[in-house]
Each structure stands twice: as C-alpha cells, then as structure tokens.
Amino acid sequence: MPNFTYVALDARGQQVTGVIEAATQNEAVGALRQAGYFPKSVDVESKASKAKVAKAAAPKSAASAKAGFSLFKKQTVDGKTLMIFTRQLATLIDAGLPLLRSLTVLAKQEKDVVLQGTITQLAESVQGGSTFSDSLSVHPKIFNKLYVNMVKAGELGGVLELVLLRLAEFQEKAQRIKNKVVAAMFYPLIVLCIAIAILAFLLVFIVPKFQAIFDDMLGGKPLPALTQFVIGASNLVKDNIVLLIGGIIVAVVAYKLAARTEKGTRFMDMVKLRAPLFGDLTRKSAISRFSRTLGTLVTSGVPILQALMITRETAGNTVISEAINKVHDAVKEGESIVAPLEASGVFPPMVISMIDVGEETGQLPEMLLKIAEVYDDEVDNAVQGLTALLEPIMIVLLAVIVGTIVVALFMPLISIISNLQGGAGA
C-alpha cells in the first residue's frame, strides 16, 4: 500500500505532520479522523515530495516577471460578486451536478474577468486531482481563510453543498450589515464635505470682496467683533491655503502610516469602539461579525480552536482580535470561553450570558448564531437612530456656519446704509 504524507490538527489545535499507510487517500483521511485528527492535507508521499522540490526549484525571475505585469492589474473580487458565485455554486452542487461540471458552467457565464479566470484555474486544479479547498487556498486575495476552511470541513464531512449554502448565507448577511454601516457613515460625510467646501469658498472668495467694500465705505471705522473674527479667519485661510492643503495631506499620510503599525492600528480601533456617535454602531457590528463567523465555522464542522484562530484573523478590529486570542488560549488550556470574553470589556453582559448558557447546554454554535441575529437587528436600529440623529445635526451645523458668515458680513453693511441715508437726509 502507498504511503501518504499528512498535515493535520490534533485535539488541542496543534499542527502535526507525519506519514500514514493506506490503500487510498480517502482511507487515509478516514484513519486520521478516527485517530482524533483534523486533516488539512493528505498527499501521496512521492507526489508531495515532487511538489516541494518543484516549489523550491521554481525560478524567482519568472515570479518577478509576473509580479511586474500584475502590479497594476486588478486581483481581487468585490464581496457581492463572490457572494453570488458561492450561492450559484451551492445551488448547482445541491441540484446534483459534480463540482468540476459546476465550476465549468459558472466560468462560462461569469462576467467578472478576475473571477472568471480564477474559476477556470479552480476547475483545472480540481481536474488535476487537487481538492477544492486546496485549489481555493492558492487564491488568498479572493478566498480568505474562513472560506477555505469551511470548504475543507465540508469536503471532509461529505456535506460540501450544505457548507456552501451556509457560506453564501453568511456572506449575504455580512454584506447586508456592511452596506448598512457604510450607508450610515455616507450621509454625514457628504454633508460635512459640502459644509467644508462652502466654508472655504466663502472665506477665500466672498469675504475678501466684502472686506474691500468695508475699507472703502467705513473709512477705517472699527468693525463688529464677529465681522473681525470672520475676516481674520478669511485672511488666515487665504494667506496659508498651501500650508493648510499640505497639512491635510500630511495628516492623511500620517494616518496611513500609523495604520500600518501595531500600536497605531490598536489605538484607531479603540477610538472606533469608543467614538461618541459611531462607537456603539461599530461595537455592535463587530460583535455580530464575531458571533456569526465563529458560529458558522463550528456548525460547519471546523474544530473550535481552529475556528477561533480564523475568527481572530477576520475580526476586522484589533481589540476584538486580542479578546478572541485570549479566548483561544483559555480554550487551549481546557477553560471556559466566558471569562476571557468578560475580561476584555468589549462584549456586553447579554452576550456573555448567552454564550455561557450555550456552553453549559452544549448548544454554543446555535447560541452564537442567535446572538448574530439579535445584533443584526441591533445594527439596523442603531443605523436608523444614527441617521435620524445626524440629519438635523448636520443641517443645523451647515446653517450655523453659513449663517454666521452672512450675519458677520451684513452687520457693517447696515452701518454703511445708515450712514448713506443720514448723508442723503442732510
């Protein structure tokens, strides 16, 4: 019988490698699962050796040439397109079509050029004998670890179509939440940009013209304090516009650079969670993502330790990721997941209580998905409340900015008109 090299996770989530003797690859996978392992890859020994040699011997110049050509080439797929592909693939497999045939059908009808080429490569890889999950892992910019590991669990459990359906539902709900959060942020940003543009236009072009009129008509008489403030602001902006634009550019670059550092990212994520208006929405969205990701992974058959690692990497917030990392360490030591979640200070008491009940009753995956549904509704309510609150605030802000400038400019005009009327009467 041939030998198979394997890479698997043990009961504690540690990666182990070795060689097992079996008649077929399926028998090798079954033997590993019976031994309490979760196989990540199982290959014929000679095939694995050739693959490693080929990978080591691959010329770097060819990779560099490809990188040069693909530097400005689109390499990712938007969430909505990937969601539709997953749903269609799940439907075709559920209808009884083989995986290879399903991929071929989808490749022919896909309009997105990047995804179409990727599906074609997936079909070729599957036809060449690779598993679907291994084929997906070659394209990390399109299929993240959550996607790959769920597919791997579906393959090993023989329920690929069911896992794909769960994955499609997960993507749909995650996309819906993302769209709602973006919509909540969009309105105030647009109004703020309009307010800044109007303010800049008035200060740079309109106020200086009125200042010239005041100098000519008032003959050096003192202006009202509000008018002096507006004219001073106008002179400041007009005389230092290059420095102001440069300051904005420097601030944006500094933000981008800080976001690449560990401390900078953590500070920004902490600010997002504690922001006065948007912090509550960000927190609820993060809790919903955490609960849905972990619940979907565990329900699909992914071991809890591996599921926690994937959830940590896809959390989208450093503070949440650190809390999940502590949960992973606690579970690895055989402890409950409730204590580290509670100690993080990120998760509200209701979530902690529901997870505690789910853990005690052995229904943790179902309880996590229930939490996700509850917080989906919470995000809906938060978006509606935030939109209802921000609309009048932004309108009042815009009115105050424009109104202040108008009043400041008209106060001296009233004095000028009074002087002209007095002169005419005389």
Residue type, 138: V
Average pLDDT (50-64) is: 39
pLDDT-based confidence at residue 56 (cuts at 50, 70, 90): very low
Across 55-69, 104-118, 377-391, which has the greatest mean pLDDT? 104-118
Taking the model in full, what pTM does it have? Answer: 0.63
pLDDT band at residue 12, thresholds of 50, 70 and 90? low
17 membership: H or E segment, kind and range: strand 15-21
Those residues whose C-beta lies under 8 Å from the C-beta of residue 254, and which sit 6 or more positions away, are none
For residue 39, give both structure tokens. Answer: 């196989």
Give the pLDDT confidence score for residue 184 in this predicted structure. Answer: 73
Which of the four pLDDT bands, split at 50, 70 and 90, describes residue 59? very low
| pLDDT the model gives residue 54 | 39
pLDDT score recorded for residue 422: 61
pLDDT at 367 (0 to 100) = 92
* Average predicted confidence (pLDDT) for the chain: 80
Output the six-digit token pair for 165: 């359906």
- The share of the chain scoring above pLDDT 90, in percent, equals 5
Q: Give, in degrees to the nearest 5, the angle at Cα 359 between 354 and 362.
A: 120
Distance CA 162, CA 86 (A): 11
Model confidence over 321-369: pLDDT tens digits? 888 888 888 888 888 888 888 887 788 888 899 988 988 888 888 899 8
To 5 degrees, how large is the angle CA 109–CA 110–CA 115?
A: 150
pLDDT score for 169: 83
Query: What sections of 110-159 are H helices per DSSP?
Result: 113-127, 132-137, 145-157
Residues in the chain: 426
- What is the reported pLDDT for 73? 56
- Do residues 408 and 211 make contact, with C-beta atoms less than 8 angstroms apart? no
pLDDT digits (tens, 9 = 90+) for 141-186: 888 888 888 888 788 777 788 888 888 888 888 788 778 777 777 8
Q: What is the mean pLDDT of residues 46-66?
A: 40
